[in-house]
A and B are shown apart, each in its own frame.
Chain A
Amino acid sequence: MRDATPTRIVGTPALRKEGFGKVTGGARYIDDIVLLGMWHGATVRSSIARGAIKDIRFGAGINWDEFVIVTAKDIPGANCIPLIVDNDQPVLADARVNHPEEPVVLLAHPDKARLHEAVEAVEIDYDPLPAVFTIEESERQQTIVWGEDNVIKRFLVEKGDVDSAWQHAAHIVSGEYRTGAQEQLYIENNGVIAEWSDADGLIIRGSMQCPYYVHKALLRVFDLPAEKVRVIQAETGGAFGGKEDYPSLIAAHAGLLALKAGRPVKIIYDREEDLAATTKRHPSRTRYRTAVDKDGHLLAMDIQVDLDGGAYATVSPTVLSRATIHSAGPYLCENIRVRSHAWATNVPPHGAFRGFGSPQTIFGIERHMDQIAKAVGISPEEVRRRNFLAQGNATATGQLIRDPIDLRGMMDRALKVSDYHAKRARFARENATSSAIKHGMGIASFMHGAGFTGSGERYLNSLVGLEADASGHLTVLVSSTEFGQGTNTMLSQVVAEALGLSCEDVSIAQPDTNRVPNSGPTVASRTTMIVGRLVHDAALALAGILREKNLLSEEFSADEFRAACAAYTAQFGALRSEARYQPPKDIFWDDAKYQGDAYPAFAWAVYVAEVAVDTRTYAAEVVNFYTVQEVGRVMNPVLAAGQIEGGVAQGVGYALYEKVVWKDGRMSNNQMTNYIIPTAADVPNIEVYFEEMPCEHGPYGAKGLGELPHDGPAPAILNAIQDAAGISFTSIPLLPEDIFLRMAEAPEPECLEIVGSAKGPQ
């Protein structure tokens, strides 16, 4: 369906479907919902990082009869939230705790204000065990906290022959790069309301991305048949991956309390709890050893990727997979080896956050490309240009790029719109003679795979539905959720376009597992490309049903469509179509060798950062940020640009502001006062440019774009800081105190990497 034909609605800035409620205050988020007789729930968490639970005591001064108390013994089914690894994270710690925020006891009370002191009054005694808190401690394997070797997951990707490439190298460039944990910081905290009745079973409403993940988890925890668990997504105030897996745990907690209390129970985390206990982006360390020829062409890349997975596997295997696959960047190299590990540590499990592993490795490769440029003596743009993947090339996993790709054109455009050359020349002049403030320009070029990795989409086997009533009004039935990205609007546009209607003729059903089929989780930049395509197919199938009954001709007007719906429903009853995912025929993936077509399509981008570094205050500021991206067809220019700008702002935070301070496995700055994200006064001017190359997999040629913009900003910004200040910083977040330390120690420009001529592998 490579489709560049003119469209009426796709490509226009259709209004946000649920926007009216959001600007009037009418939208109902989970904490806005109050059920009759509802109690409030709270969580008692472990106070140590690792150990055996000896005793749980309910202290004096509290009338415990007023409370409903739940421990692991109250779980009717399995004490486990299964996601990828079986017997993974427990619902409530029973004999052992493995991180300092592990839930142990649940309490409910009618008065929310009474819960705090009660939580404080629960005393848990432990026999402490040694714990590990960093990648380095975990990989030393002196203390084993997971399996036999602390390795949650490992991958090996091999292309060509890395070991014999070193002898042909003109330069060997090595570098190590680090990224910190990052909090999603959705402004709406996590929250769930559970109701229990013997007739209907368990009903969950909550802030979440993936209603069917929650559904699946609860079936096991409560040992219930599928029809006895119902999960409904409330309006969700931001997620970014942070509400992918954790809501299953909160839903299980609220459900257990509701079951025991015999009444609805609401659990809403406050900000401190949400920050401390829920998932964050995996901290990472990446090591690159690269062989290049005298012109800067990549001859070999030996890459090590290490992630801190935290105390349980949760999504770490798939985050590591995406990190691994993206680690070679958008470059052609015939000899690549990637060895990657997710290490277990005794911190709360790290999880999904926009980009899902790729911001970590793209930070590594894109900082490293600048070091290669330096070693070879060419410009950062030139080293990238010389190595860009082109149509017909193969990626690290051997995926042949079949679609046209235009990285060189995008690089030209990014340099032009940012006025890169003129600015860089001017900054070089000014920085030499001036002054307190140094300016610089930095580039990152990168890609992001859309959809689940490898065979993921085959396993998901997504299904969507579409219903029409007698008036011809359509309702899209998907479990794909809206949490700000524009899912509702985009899907309405697809249906309206396909059936010649307007967006007002289309509604999106509230995601409710009793009403909508499983169209898969809302993750992995898959909703537009994969689910949008299925919804498009369902729309065509619905028209097909009407034609079969001779109610509709090949070409039809909106009125004819409405008349056909009226006639159909009068004669035959409900009018409904479905579409199920069909794996594309030419896509193959080998899970054992980690080779093949990792993603049906990639989005591509070149970003340019312009920074100012104040050498008196050591503050780095991003002044302008230019983004050029190719995301297939742009479905809605306002929503798409909003996604890019939001992702860039998060990337600026990742690079320069957001630091999780750890103390014995626990986040110690778990307040908005001291975990700082960018404000309206901090964000740069962000410019968004799209290139459109319709892709055959998505509806009307669209690809995924939600995660892409978080991948590029951090390396572009640090590359620009190197251009400005002459110092190669290799780790983020980079705060003024970090800049101060390096400037105080090493006022001279410094390159951490080993650069030199090669005599063969050492």
Chain B
Amino acid sequence: MSAAKIQLSEIRFKVNGVERSATVPPMKRLLDVLREDLALTGVKEGCGEGECGSCSVLLDGVLVNSCLVPALQASGCEVLTVEGLATNGALAHIQRTFLELGGTQCGICTPGMMLAAESLLRKNPHPDLDAIREGLAGNLCRCTGYMRIIDAVKHAIEEPILTADLAPEETVHK
């Protein structure tokens, strides 16, 4: 290949609780480092320009669009991706409510959306409806119309849910 030699840097950081490193061009997008170098493909790309939020991860606890973050900036940081939400194979509460309440349809926005929810709940453990809507407004979902995502976040605050409560408004049988 004829490409001019690109300087590579070693990035060390903690990803989902584990020390990791990657030797990459320093300006490589964190999104690509996670997906390509660390095989964390739960992080999704929807736009590459900071609009859709499907690439959302927590960087030192702050919700960021990983498509806008150069690898260098993540050096020495803690990164949380969707793969780090479950512990020992047991779904986190937010994952359960998304699954049970219909918060995921095609699923492409779901990893980023759950991290937005996680970030919101860490900052504000009892958000009201407006706070939930605001907290999720940086993440686009084209499938759900958001109602069931909002529900999933609401229920993640409250007691664990029972599938019996999940039905929509009453149905008339004729």
Most chain B CB within a 10 A radius of its CB, from A187, A642, A645: A187
Evaluate contact between B168 and A187: CB separation under 8 angstroms.
no
Q: Please, which residue of chain B has its CB at the minimum distance from the CB of A647?
A: B145
- Given A270-B48, A646-B145, A484:B173 Cβ within 8 A: no
Evaluate contact between B82 and A646: CB separation under 8 angstroms.
no
Docked CA distance A23–B134 (Å): 22
> Which of A18, A238, A271, A648 lies in contact with B48, CB distance below 8 A?
A271
B11 CB-CB contact with A under 8 Å: no
- Given A23-B114, A689-B171, A237:B146 Cβ within 8 A: no
Q: Please, which residue of chain A has its CB at the minimum distance from the CB of B171?
A: A690
Q: Chain A residues near B136 (CB, 8 Å)? A: 679-681
Docked CA distance A725–B70 (Å): 48
Evaluate contact between B41 and A238: CB separation under 8 angstroms.
no
Which one, A26-34, A359-367, A555-563, is touching chain B? A26-34
Contact with B along A662-701 (1 / 0, CB 8 A): 0000000001110001011111011111111100000000
Q: Chain A residues near B172 (CB, 8 Å)? A: 413, 689-692
> Which of B133, B146, B166 lies in contact with A638, CB distance below 8 A?
B166
Q: Please, which residue of chain B has its CB at the minimum distance from the CB of A687?
A: B169
Q: Chain B residues near A21 (CB, 8 Å)? A: 107
Evaluate contact between A188 and B163: CB separation under 8 angstroms.
no
Q: Please, which residue of chain A has its CB at the minimum distance from the CB of B6?
A: A113
> Which of A4, A641, A688 lies in contact with B173, CB distance below 8 A?
A4
**Chain A 312-327 interface residues, beta-carbon cutoff 8 Å to B:** none
> Which of A32, A63, A637 lies in contact with B166, CB distance below 8 A?
A637
Evaluate contact between B145 and A188: CB separation under 8 angstroms.
no
**Chain B 81-132 interface residues, beta-carbon cutoff 8 Å to A:** 81-83, 85-86, 91, 95-96, 98-102, 104-111, 114, 132
Q: Please, which residue of chain A has its CB at the minimum distance from the CB of B46?
A: A187
A114 CB-CB contact with B under 8 Å: yes
Smallest distance from the beta carbon of B162 to chain A beta carbons, Å?
Answer: 11
> Which of B49, B52, B85, B138 lies in contact with A187, CB distance below 8 A?
B52
B154 CB-CB contact with A under 8 Å: no
Most chain B CB within a 10 A radius of its CB, from A25, A483, A646: A25
A500 CB-CB contact with B under 8 Å: no
A186 CB-CB contact with B under 8 Å: yes
Evaluate contact between A691 and B3: CB separation under 8 angstroms.
no
B1 CB-CB contact with A under 8 Å: yes
> Which of B102, B104, B132, B167 lies in contact with A680, CB distance below 8 A?
B132
Q: Chain B residues near A550 (CB, 8 Å)? A: none
Evaluate contact between A650 and B142: CB separation under 8 angstroms.
yes
Q: Please, which residue of chain A has its CB at the minimum distance from the CB of B153?
A: A680
Q: Chain A residues near B146 (CB, 8 Å)? A: 645, 649, 679-680, 683
A22 CB-CB contact with B under 8 Å: yes
Evaluate contact between A683 and B106: CB separation under 8 angstroms.
no
Docked CA distance A450–B111 (Å): 33
A634 CB-CB contact with B under 8 Å: yes
Q: Chain A residues near B133 (CB, 8 Å)? A: 680-681
Evaluate contact between A271 and B44: CB separation under 8 angstroms.
no
**Chain A 683-721 interface residues, beta-carbon cutoff 8 Å to B:** 683, 685-693
**Chain A 1-54 interface residues, beta-carbon cutoff 8 Å to B:** 4, 13, 15-16, 18-29, 31-32
- Given A66-B1, A238-B108, A637-B167, A186:B142 Cβ within 8 A: yes
Evaluate contact between B104 and A19: CB separation under 8 angstroms.
yes
Evaluate contact between B40 and A66: CB separation under 8 angstroms.
no
Evaluate contact between A642 and B98: CB separation under 8 angstroms.
no
Interface size bucket, B side?
35 or more
A189 CB-CB contact with B under 8 Å: yes
Evaluate contact between A271 and B47: CB separation under 8 angstroms.
yes
Docked CA distance A20–B96 (Å): 9
Contact with B along A427-468 (1 / 0, CB 8 A): 000000000000000000000000000000000000000000
B56 CB-CB contact with A under 8 Å: no
- Given A271-B46, A638-B148, A647-B145, A29:B108 Cβ within 8 A: yes
Most chain A CB within a 10 A radius of its CB, from B41, B81, B139: B41
Docked CA distance A19–B144 (Å): 14
Q: Chain B residues near A404 (CB, 8 Å)? A: 174
Q: Please, which residue of chain A has its CB at the minimum distance from the CB of B138?
A: A679
Q: Please, which residue of chain A has its CB at the minimum distance from the CB of B132?
A: A680
Q: Chain A residues near B114 (CB, 8 Å)? A: 23
A240 CB-CB contact with B under 8 Å: yes
- Given A15-B99, A114-B3, A689-B169, A27:B107 Cβ within 8 A: yes
Q: Chain B residues near A671 (CB, 8 Å)? A: 47, 49, 51
> Which of B44, B101, B132 lies in contact with A237, CB distance below 8 A?
B44
> Which of B86, B91, B111, B174 lies in contact with A693, CB distance below 8 A?
B174
Q: Chain B residues near A15 (CB, 8 Å)? A: 99-100, 163
Smallest distance from the beta carbon of B174 to chain A beta carbons, Å?
Answer: 5
- Given A19-B99, A21-B107, A680-B136, A240:B142 Cβ within 8 A: yes
A235 CB-CB contact with B under 8 Å: yes
A639 CB-CB contact with B under 8 Å: yes
Smallest distance from the beta carbon of A187 to chain B beta carbons, Å?
Answer: 4
> Which of B111, B147, B150, B174 lies in contact with A692, CB distance below 8 A?
B174
Most chain A CB within a 10 A radius of its CB, from B44, B95, B139, B143: B143
- Given A237-B108, A688-B169, A16:B99 Cβ within 8 A: yes
Docked CA distance A683–B149 (Å): 12
Docked CA distance A478–B51 (Å): 36
Q: Chain A residues near B82 (CB, 8 Å)? A: 23-25
Q: Chain B residues near A290 (CB, 8 Å)? A: none
Q: Chain B residues near A486 (CB, 8 Å)? A: 105
Q: Chain A residues near B167 (CB, 8 Å)? A: 13, 637-638
- Given A27-B107, A483-B106, A187:B140 Cβ within 8 A: yes
> Which of B137, B140, B149, B168 lies in contact with A637, CB distance below 8 A?
B168
Evaluate contact between B107 and A235: CB separation under 8 angstroms.
yes
Q: Please, which residue of chain A has its CB at the minimum distance from the CB of B108?
A: A237
Most chain A CB within a 10 A radius of its CB, from B85, B107, B109, B163: B107
A730 CB-CB contact with B under 8 Å: no
Docked CA distance A357–B34 (Å): 41
Instruction: Give 15 pairs: A residue, B residue, CB < 8 Å, sorted on A.
Output: A23-B95, A25-B41, A25-B42, A110-B1, A237-B108, A239-B106, A642-B143, A642-B145, A645-B148, A646-B142, A672-B47, A672-B140, A673-B51, A679-B139, A693-B174
- Taking A187-B52, A484-B143 as given, write out 19 further A-B residue pairs in contact, using a Cβ cutoff of 8 Å, ordered by the A residue number: A13-B102, A19-B99, A22-B104, A23-B82, A23-B95, A24-B83, A111-B1, A485-B105, A486-B105, A638-B148, A638-B166, A638-B167, A642-B102, A645-B144, A650-B145, A672-B49, A680-B146, A690-B168, A693-B174
